[in-house]
Amino acid sequence: MENNDPKPQRRLRYKGTHPKVFKEKYKELQPEKYADDIERIKEKGATPAGMHRSICVNEILEVLQITSGQVGLDATLGYGGHSLEMLKLLSPNGKLYATDVDPFELPKTTNRLAALGYGSDVFFPRKMNFAHIDLIVHEAGLLDFVLADLGVSSMQIDNPERGFSLKIDGPLDLRLNPKSGKSAAAFLQTLSKVELEQILIENADEPYAQEIAEAIMLQLKKGIHIETTHQLKNIIKEALDFIAPELVKKSCTRSFQALRIAVNNEFGVLDSFLSKLPDALVSGGKVAILSFHSGEDRRVKKAFQTFFRQGIYSAVAPDPIRPSAKEVGGNPRARSAKLRWAIKA
């Protein structure tokens, strides 16, 4: 009798003892099959490729005080680590809504949580920007709690095809949703020198914004399209060859951050979300926001304090909560995190 079952596919071959290319990291990209290996990577203080380690989980849960039967929102789903812990507390009668614009990671996370027992009866993922929190409220009613983790997910950073990392060359994209809007490469083509310099200053406090903007515009005027991450990095390095290498590296990181914020209109989206938050919460409802950038933290702090003075929030965080030294030691990506909270009057 003929066997029509598909033959199992061999994994990709690679040179050396360990895979270095993202698509070859078969253990990290299939963590459910290699749990022991994944744990060893985490114990070394590293984040496995294709995964994300949630930050300030205990601190967030302490702030939100989630109980069974509540209805809440994870405004930035990502890998779903925070959602998983919230779903555990919501069971058996609660509901968790979640938003994310990433068309690749959203279904992966949805399937991952469903496999853990959190299906369509308790978990409601929505592909949308969290600035549209009012649409979630229209569907779910007022919310008992809201969480927003404003950091870029490690899955996006680690995948060179997304263009978020300086380490490995890839397309200069930087979009959280690669199927919408202009890539960073296309966005650069639309800017003047003054506009680019302003973006570098406002979005990243870049001290060498003028030199970087001039160097980039010089290349574009020559008809050279800046299409890859390493192209842009090398232009910045050449423009700043008069400063120490470690300072050049920081300027490269800030420049990519500034472009990412502009490409995704992250500050505009955050401002819209913050303005709609009070109308999304029940009386006594809680919100926790985790930020990783001084510009984000300033916006969160200002909005919370403004609504507190108006009597709309009954309490707000007097100071940001920082991750513990132990967490930072085990996960260096937590280093810049700041957690702020507010309670609806």
Name the CATH topology of 57-154+267-344.
Answer: Rossmann fold (3.40.50)
Label each residue of the chain as H, E or C.
CCCCCCCCCCCCCCCCCCCCCHHHCHHHHCCCCCHHHHHHHHHCCCCCCCCCCCCCHHHHHHHHCCCCCCEEEECCCCCCHHHHHHHHHHCCCCEEEEEECCCCHHHHHHHHHHHCCCCCCCEEEEECCHHHHHHHHHHHCCEEEEEEECCCCHHHHHCHHHCCCCCCCCECCCCCCCCCCCCHHHHHCCCCHHHHHHHHHHHHCCCCHHHHHHHHHHHHHCCCCCCEHHHHHHHHHHHCCCCCHHHHHHHHHHHHHHHHHHHCCHHHHHHHHHHHHHHHEEEEEEEEEEECCHHHHHHHHHHHHHHHHCCCEEEECCCCECCCHHHHHHCHHHCCCEEEEEEEC
The tokens for 172 are 């200069």
Q: Check residue 18 and give its pLDDT.
A: 55
Name the CATH topology of 177-263.
Answer: DNA polymerase; domain 1 (1.10.150)
Q: Check residue 143 and give its pLDDT.
A: 98
* Domain spans, the chain: 57-154+267-344, 177-263
Q: Check residue 26 and give its pLDDT.
A: 46
Distance in angstroms (rounded) separating the CA atoms of residues 253 and 164? 10
Q: Check residue 334 and give its pLDDT.
A: 87
Distance in angstroms (rounded) separating the CA atoms of residues 60 and 83? 11
Q: What is the pLDDT along the chain (345 residues), one digit of tens a residue?
A: 455 555 555 555 656 555 555 555 545 555 555 555 555 554 554 545 555 578 999 999 999 999 999 999 999 998 999 999 999 999 889 999 999 998 888 999 999 999 999 999 999 999 999 999 999 999 999 999 999 999 877 666 667 777 677 888 899 999 988 888 999 999 999 999 999 999 999 999 999 999 999 999 999 999 999 999 999 999 999 999 999 999 999 999 999 999 999 999 999 999 999 999 999 999 999 999 999 989 999 999 999 999 999 999 999 999 999 999 999 888 888 899 999 999 999
